[in-house]
Amino acid sequence: MIHKNASSAIGIVDLGGQYCHLIARRLRDLRINADILSPELPAEELREYAGIILSGGPSSVYDSASPSVDPRIIELGSPVLGICYGHQLLAMHLGAEVKPGEREFGLSRLAITEGDSLFRDTPAIQKVWMSHSDSVDSLPPNLLPLATTERCGVAAFADLNRRLFGVQFHPEVTHSEHGLAILRNFGIGVCGINPDVSATTRLAGLEEEIREKVGTRSVFFLVSGGVDSSVAFALCARALPASRMLGLYVDTGLMREGETEELQQSFRHLGLSEQLRVRDESERFLRSLEGVADPEKKRRIIGRLFVEVQEEAMREYGIEGTKWLLGQGTIYPDTIESGGTAGRAAVIKTHHNRCAEVVALLEKGQVIEPLAEFYKDEVREVGRELGLEPALTNRWPFPGPGLAIRILCNKARSERPVRRVRLANDFAEYRAVRLPLKSVGVQGDGRTYRDVVALDGPLDYAKLHRISSDLCNLRTSFNRVVVRIAGKWDLLKARVYPSALTRERLAKLRRADWITRSVMHDAGMTDSVWQFPVILLPVGRKGGDSVVLRPVNSVDGMTANFAQLPFEALNTMAKRIVRVPGVEAVFLDCTDKPPSTIEWE
Ligand code: XMP
């Protein structure tokens, strides 16, 4: 789709690079609109754009199957910036030689020889991210070399008169330390685009796109309480009249403390409560989960109930036929993941947003996903611009099945006793026991379901890390290690009690989770971790439970490190949580993913 205001936007020709979408995202950071375009478009169709970027690509310019662009774009008079493969393609069209050889992957040191134009206000030496096997070898006299690296003679060039530029590195990835400044110099400096600084204009643009897509139809949304669906719903609700917009939030009884109320309050505050229906289905969910201990079975029951409730509600509200679109909070990484990245999180997300029914609707053009181009941090920003409460926009990711998969259940009193685990001599200050309680892990190619090791000893993160990786890598019976941070009793006396998913245990976990969130919030540390599950284990000495804190750092949830929080904050949480009635101990999970997963089930 060509941008309506192409004269103030950049056209990005997609030559197949994995970072192509990221170029558009970085330009959005600079408040510059951009369209991603097919390389097959004839040059005339690109005439309106204030500038053109040729993206990177996996190909070699000499490969006959390589994508190319209409060479007449050089004659349009518009500024052009070629990146990586685009740089080589542009150089070749301008008469330069491209040669295979001198591969460069990762960080390189760029030395700038011509600091004006593209590199204005950036240092003469800077780090850039390279990923190429071919390179531009020599330039014809009308082209000016701008920069070199140790392995790449022409790391950047320009034809300043015609405003044509090429860079071998990737300014769009954050590893290129001045990449954003280089894109700014091109977009604003060279192309003369006025950044669209007004946030309201950005929202107005998004709303206009929604109105265009929806036409005279209406939109039905399932709102989960998470950031993405809340922001997508709020955007649509602002764009459309209340009578053509309906959101359904199902209270499963498995949400965290205050979550349902916060969501309602946030929408009330925006004047959107009329469009949001809340159905209390907690009785139904909890009844169906009674006596179920197997994690996958819990997930299947919850998934089925969601579909049932949604179908019932739609029948009740008269939502049928082609007059309705289904609204979803899908974001860009979900789309990449559903394109085939392996891993359970990916599959789960694909399952939610790309189940068979949704795919059928997508094919009929009956789905609207206003955030499909955005990354999580941008969604949070749009949410803030919309006026959603920070408590909602800054929320840590929360799994669809909610607290149900954070409360471990045990059908019968475990037959297996707690046993001491021997540690290497280096760790003499620790005592370790094997709890007869299994949690999920990911080791090698698959998921494992193995016992947990519990430690008593100092909170020395380096040592804990070594213990957990030794135990999980060298021994085949474990995939997770925790260290006790509150509760003083002999761990050899621990028992795994028969336990179910009851309202009482839910209330206990909610309390512990609420304490954790409050301490993190009050210490200004909410953003210092990526996610922070709090888990309830049927482990105690007197029939009570234990709480596990599981703060992690991650980029996408596929791999993660246990977060090494300051002792003081941990101590404050642990002391308060162990005072919650029925909680006998508090542990900290000190295992990375892999070998364990983020959640316990
Ligand atoms: P794991 O535990 O697999 O979690 O390391 C990775 C990420 O996925 C989330 N997660 C889920 N999300 N439904 C969801 O919507 C689920 O069943 C589910 N299980 C795990 C988890 O919270 C983490 O962010």
The pLDDT of residue 201: 67
Tell me, what's the pLDDT at 349?
34
Catalytic residue among 170, 369, 381, 601: 170
| CB-CB contact of 576 with 515 (8 Å) | yes
Other beta carbons within 10 Å of 502: 14
Beta bridge partners of 536: 407, 547
Cβ–ligand 1 distance for 406 under 6 Å, the answer no
Per-residue pLDDT tens for 33-82?
898 999 999 999 999 999 999 999 877 887 778 888 999 999 999 999 99
Q: Is 295 in the pocket of ligand 1 (CB under 6 A)?
A: no
User: Ligand 1 atom closest to Cα of 344?
Assistant: 3
Q: How far is the CA of 526 from the centre of ligand 1 (A)?
A: 19
Residue 301 predicted with pLDDT over 80: yes
CB 410 near ligand 1, within 6 Å: no
Distance CA 454, CA 421 (A): 9
Question: Tens digit of pLDDT for each residue in 481-531?
Answer: 999 999 999 999 999 999 999 999 999 999 999 999 999 999 999 989 999
Ligand 1 atom nearest to CA at 343:
3
- CB 400 less than 6 A from any atom of ligand 1: yes
Q: Is the pLDDT of residue 1 over 70?
A: no
Q: Is there a catalytic annotation at residue 44?
A: no
Is the shortest distance between the CB of 326 and ligand 1 below 6 Å? no
Q: Which of 20, 21, 84, 584 is the catalytic position?
A: 84
Average pLDDT over the chain, rounded to an integer: 89
* Residue 84 falls in the annotated catalytic set: yes
Which residue minimizes the CA distance to atom 14 of ligand 1? 399
**Would you call 92 exposed, middle or buried from its count of C-beta atoms within 10 A (0-12, 13-18, 19+)?**
middle
Q: Whose CA is nearest to atom 18 of ligand 1?
A: 399
Detail the DSSP E strand segments found in 97-176. 97-112, 125-138, 144-149, 152-159, 164-167
Predicted local confidence at residue 554, as pLDDT = 84
CB 401 near ligand 1, within 6 Å: yes
Asked whether residue 325 carries a pLDDT value surpassing 50, the answer given is yes
Q: Which of 116-130, 341-355, 565-579 holds the top average pLDDT?
A: 565-579
Region 134-145: mean pLDDT is 94
CA distance 196 to 3: 14
CA atoms lying within 13 Å on the CB side of residue 288: 19
DSSP state of 397: P
Residue having the nearest C-alpha atom to atom 10 of ligand 1: 399
Per-residue DSSP letters for 481-545?
EEEEEE--S-GGG-EE--B---HHHHHHHHHHHHHHHHHHHHTT-GGGSSB--EEEESEESSS-E
CA of 549 to the centre of ligand 1 (A): 16
Given a cut of 50, is residue 345 above it in pLDDT? no
Of 244-248, 397-401, 570-574, the one with minimum mean pLDDT is 397-401
Q: Examine the pLDDT at 339 and tell me if it is beyond 50.
A: no
- Ligand 1 atom nearest the C-alpha of 596 is 5
- Give pLDDT, residue 442: 83
299 lines ligand 1 (CB under 6 A): yes
Predicted confidence (pLDDT) at residue 161 exceeds the cutoff of 50: yes
Spatial distance between the Cα atoms of 297 and 330, rounded to a whole number of angstroms: 26
